[in-house]
A = this chain, B = another copy of it.
Amino acid sequence: MFKKLLPDWFKQYQSAWLTGDVIAGAIVTVMLIPQSLAYAMLAGLPPQAGLYASLLPIFAYALFGSSMTLAVGPVAIASLMTSTALAPLASLGSVDYAALAVILALLSGVMLFVFGLLRLGFLAYFLSHPVISGFISGSAVVIAIGQLKYIFGIQTPRGGIITTLSGLLEGLPTLNVTTTLLGCGALLFLFFARRYLASILKQIGWSEKSADLAAKLAPMLVVIVATLIVNLGQLDQQAHVSVVGSVPAGLPSLSLPTIAWHDIRALWLPALLISLVGFVESVSVAQSLALKRNQRITPDKELLGIGAANIASALSGGYPVTGGFARSVVNFSAGANTPAAGVVSAIFMAVVVAVATSWFYYLPHAVLAATIIVAVIGLIDFKTLQQSWHYDRADAISLILTFLGVIFLGVEEGIVIGVVLSLAVVVWRSSRPHMAVVGRVPGTEHFRNVDRFDVELVNGLIALRVDESLYFANAQVLEDKIESLVAESTGTHAVLLIMSAVNQLDSTALGMLDELEKNLQAKGIDLQFAEVKGPVLDRLHKTDLGQRMHDRIFLSTHQAFLSHST
């Protein structure tokens, strides 16, 4: 009974997998410590919130999720969205702020879990790739610019990108030189490490895999070195370098937040947007990793997994979490075989949280900001823009508008713009269908566009092929086309609509065809159909129009032409 609830990977666990899982778990922990501190700072939360969000959620995901290698925890974009959602509701650093972050995680977790129970996993595919790319790039720019104040040790007012940039410019004369040296030094080293470290290590004889992994751990090295420098020089006192300070030691206590109605009213929409974005991000990361090993992930289970992880994060004083890209890739490359790798890293993290939080006292904020900037700059994606500009201008424009929307209007507005654009582009694309008047290629049963081929026509018959599903956005266009074809011709006694490309026919289009049939009939013209697809035909038969037209629906265009020739 109880065993049934255990995940498959646990029941089928093989001892051969253990080494990979333990090594990957250890390496991910080294990456996770600076990340969880940095992303908590980005979310406007105390450092422990990031640490707590890296413990229980991993266990919860391991129970419900379907990816073998996804690393769940604090991530950049969800942290940015958390800070955006909470900024208007509570002052930064207050107890209320942290409590609202917990509620946000709980709402998001419950939504995702319920969506999972309702099997709404297909929602992962309701955002087009260019829109996701524009959203992530825009968020990365917003995050990177928001971190610059820590690099220079300047205070800036909270607000949009313009406020932040002008605050930075105004504040530059007051910058803290020691902080700036630490921050810029960390930035330079991290950029250098990202670019060249792996190849240098390979040249001195490391294996490709170890070199790549070691390069990914550069942030931990910077964090250790910077912490030592600040500690030795007592730079927090001597040079006013802003540091993490004391972090409460000990594991988080479990508790459910008290939630007031007005919290739900204020947070449901941000929670929904964070859920959507986090889920889409997780699924795409999990999917691309799973494909490399011929594994499969199940979007419905991912909803349950990410949902459970967020509920666990809320129970243990964290904030919204999801599957992160960089950490998952490291987990995968370091040889993780199952979510046991995550469990190992959660256990290591628990040890750190229990005994070692004092080590972070002298860690400078400027260095955390540098790790964030380098991480998110890697998310800026020019390639998709370039490709889609080349291949499909409408996709490229959606990408750019979503990108600009995130930067200038805000991250929540950006994702709403993205969703609407994703949907609107689909409708826009099919709203002006390709249509061709066709005739018969002499001596064959083939029919081709009269404008391109030398074809035979039947007197008084207009045969029109429409290359799109018919629905509200293009029904009128088709009607206009037919009306104008009829108006231009003389002696027309029949209009044949060839529906070989009509995969769907919605009720708006059906209503249009019904009206059209009556209007044409009133002028003594028969409306006829040919090559109607099975599913469309089945539905059509149930309607008045289908009943009236039952002897005017032809299997093939050829048969329709024959009926006129005789």
Q: Give A residues with C-beta under 8 Å from B.
A: 122, 124-130, 287, 291, 296, 384, 387-388, 390-392, 395, 420, 422-427, 429-434, 467-469, 471-477, 480, 483, 500-501, 503-504, 506-508, 510-511, 515, 519, 533, 535, 539, 542-543
Known: A296-B483, A423-B426, A426-B426. A519 touches B291 (CB 8 A): yes
| Docked pose: A432 CA to B501 CA in angstroms | 16
A378 CB to nearest B CB, Å: 19
User: For the complex, what is the distance from the CA of A515 to the CA of B287, rounded to whole Å?
Assistant: 12
CB contacts (< 8 Å) of A388 on chain B: these are 507
Residues of B within 8 A of A291 (CB): 515, 519
Measured in the bound complex, the distance between the Cα atoms of B128 and A420 in whole Å is: 16
Contact B387 A128 (CB under 8 A): no
- Pick from B125, B501, B507: contact of A474, CB below 8 A: B125
> A298 — nearest CB in chain B belongs to which residue?
B480
State A483–B294 Cα separation when bound (angstroms): 9
Q: Identify 26 residue pairs between A and B in the complex whose beta-carbon atoms are under 8 Å apart, listed by A's number.
A: A122-B431, A122-B432, A124-B476, A128-B506, A128-B507, A287-B476, A291-B515, A296-B480, A296-B483, A384-B507, A387-B507, A388-B507, A390-B543, A391-B507, A391-B539, A392-B510, A392-B539, A395-B508, A420-B420, A426-B471, A430-B469, A433-B503, A468-B469, A468-B503, A500-B501, A501-B501
Judging by beta carbons under 8 Å apart, are B467 and A503 in contact?
Answer: yes
**Distance (Å) between the CB of A557 and the closest chain B CB?**
14
Minimum CB–CB distance for A467 against chain B, Å:
5
The one of B431, B468, B469, B471 in contact with A128, judged by C-beta atoms closer than 8 angstroms, is B471
A122 shortest CB reach to chain B, Å: 6
Residues on the B chain within 8 Å of A287, using CB: 476
Q: Which residues of B contact A432 (CB under 8 A)?
A: 122
Chain B nearest CB: distance from A291 CB in Å? 6
Would B507 and A473 count as touching, CB distance under 8 A?
no
* Binding site secondary structure of chain A: helix
Chain B residue contacts of A130, Cβ below 8 A: 507-508
Partner of A506, one of B124, B395, B483, B503: B395
- Cα distance, A427 to B471, chains bound together (Å): 12
B503 and A472 within 8 A (CB): no
Instruction: Say yes or no: B501 contacts A503, CB within 8 Å.
Output: yes
Question: In whole angstroms, what is the CA distance A351 to B420 when docked?
Answer: 48
Q: Given contact pairs A125-B474, A126-B427, A291-B515, enumerate 14 new A-B contacts (beta carbons under 8 Å).
A: A122-B432, A122-B473, A125-B476, A126-B424, A128-B471, A128-B506, A391-B510, A391-B543, A392-B539, A422-B472, A423-B426, A467-B533, A468-B503, A501-B501
A126 partner residues in chain B, CB cutoff 8 A: 424, 427, 431, 472-473
A424 to B123, CA, bound (A): 11
Determine which residue in A430, A504, A508 has the highest number of CB atoms from chain B within 10 A of its CB, and name it. A508
A500-B430 Cα distance, complex, nearest whole Å: 16
- Complex CA–CA separation, A164 to B24 (angstroms): 62
Q: How far is the CA of A126 from the CA of B391 in the complex (A)?
A: 25
User: How many angstroms from the CA of A390 to the CA of B427 in the assembled complex?
Assistant: 24
List 5 A-B pairs, minimum CB-CB distance, nearest first: A423-B423, A129-B508, A128-B472, A388-B507, A395-B507
Q: Are A431's CB and B125's CB within 8 A?
A: yes
Most buried by B among A296, A384, A507, A535: A507
Which residues in B have their C-beta under 8 angstroms from that of A510? 391-392
Interchain nearest-CB distance for A234 vs B (Å): 51
Chain B residues with Cβ below 8 Å from A533 are 467
Q: Which residue on chain B has the smallest CB distance to residue A299?
A: B476
Cβ of B423 and Cβ of A427 under 8 Å apart?
yes
Q: Please tell me if the beta carbons of A473 and B391 are within 8 angstroms of each other in the complex.
A: no
Supposing A467-B533, A501-B503, A535-B434 touch, asked if A472 and B129 sit within 8 A by C-beta, the answer is: yes
Query: Bound state CA distance, A285 and B156, in angstroms?
Result: 55
Asked if residues A392 and B434 are in contact (CB atoms below 8 Å), the reply is no
A431 surroundings in chain B (CB, below 8 A): 122, 125-126
Nearest-neighbor residue (CB-CB) of A422 within chain B: B472
> A129-B511, A395-B506 are known contacts. Are A542 and B501 too (CB-CB below 8 A)?
no
A473 to B475 CA separation, bound complex (whole angstroms): 22
* Residues in B whose Cβ lies below 8 Å from that of A387: 507, 511, 543
Q: Chain B residues near A471 (CB, 8 Å)?
A: 128, 426
> In angstroms, how far is the closest chain B Cβ from the Cβ of A283?
9
What is the bound-complex CA distance between A388 and B514, given in angstroms? Answer: 13
Separation in Å of the A358 CB from the closest CB of chain B? Answer: 47
User: Looking across the interface, which residue of chain B has its beta carbon closest to that of A396?
Assistant: B507
Of B390, B473, B543, which one neighbours A125 at CB under 8 angstroms?
B473
Contact of B434 with A125 in the complex, beta carbons under 8 Å = no
Contact of A127 among B296, B424, B472, B501 (CB under 8 A): B472
How many angstroms between the C-alpha atoms of A483 and B295 in the bound complex?
Answer: 10
The CB with the most chain B CB atoms within 10 A, among A425, A472, A476, is that of: A472
* Shortest distance between the CB of A356 and any CB in chain B (Å): 42
Complex: A287 Cα to B391 Cα, angstroms: 37
